[in-house]
């Protein structure tokens, strides 16, 4: 199932999940282990009917003043990553964020792969050209698990399969 990054991380250590696909974290916990899967690019987008889409370049001040749709933990005490706007709505996954952005309810940050895999989105959304900083955010996606949890056969198979694939790519 889908969960915001912070929730997935917590679930690993509570034992309600054995594996999680997560974006790289600034600080690693000593209890976690991971295998890097791939690089993912996130881009700032807005619906083509949204007022921000009129501009060739959008300043930091403009995005601060427009509602952002942000993928975030259900725990409201956790500050979302990649939050820029003063006014924002939270959702727990990129698909519902995309739906709200497409409806013109705000701008947001989505995986570029989502736009590439669903060409109709490119007709509905515009990538914002941010004036004050690079509009592409690059992260690695990791398969993460807790060192404290005993993993099953399927989890070990998946981890070993990914490690073999990484070995053949390098």
Kindly give the confidence (pLDDT) of every residue in the chain, 170 residues in length, as a single tens digit, with 9 standing for 90 and above.
Answer: 788 888 888 899 898 999 999 888 777 788 899 999 889 999 999 999 999 999 999 999 999 999 999 998 887 777 787 888 999 999 989 999 999 999 999 999 999 999 999 999 999 999 999 888 776 688 889 999 999 989 999 999 999 999 998 888 76
- The DSSP letter of residue 130 is B
**Are the C-beta atoms of residues 4 and 81 closer than 8 Å to each other?**
no
Range of the domain at 103: 40-138
- The DSSP letter of residue 110 is E
147 by Cβ neighbours in 10 Å (0-12 / 13-18 / 19+) ranks as exposed
- Name the nearest CA neighbour of 97 among 55, 67, 129, 64: 67
Note whether 152 and 93 are same-domain residues.
no
Q: What is the pTM of this model?
A: 0.81
Note whether 113 and 89 are same-domain residues.
yes
**Are the C-beta atoms of residues 47 and 66 closer than 8 Å to each other?**
no
pLDDT at 135: 63
As for how many domains the chain has, the answer is 2
């Amino acid at each position: 199932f889908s969960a915001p990054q912070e929730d997935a991380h917590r679930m690993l250590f509570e034992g309600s999940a054995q594996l999680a696909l997560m974006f790289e974290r600034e600080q690693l916990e000593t209890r976690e282990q991971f295998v890097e899967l791939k690089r993912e690019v996130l881009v700032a987008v807005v619906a083509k009917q949204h007022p921000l889409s009129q501009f060739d370049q959008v300043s930091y001040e403009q995005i601060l003043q427009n509602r952002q749709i942000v993928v975030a933990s259900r725990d409201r005490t956790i500050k979302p990553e990649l939050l820029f706007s003063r006014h924002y709505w939270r959702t727990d996954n990129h698909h519902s964020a995309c739906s709200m952005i497409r409806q013109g309810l705000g701008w947001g940050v989505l995986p570029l792969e989502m736009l590439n895999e669903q060409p109709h989105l490119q007709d509905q959304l515009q990538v914002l050209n941010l004036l004050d900083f690079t509009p592409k955010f690059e992260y690695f996606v990791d398969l993460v698990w807790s060192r404290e949890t005993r993993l099953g056969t399927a989890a070990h198979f998946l981890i070993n399969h990914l490690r073999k694939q990484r070995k053949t790519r390098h």
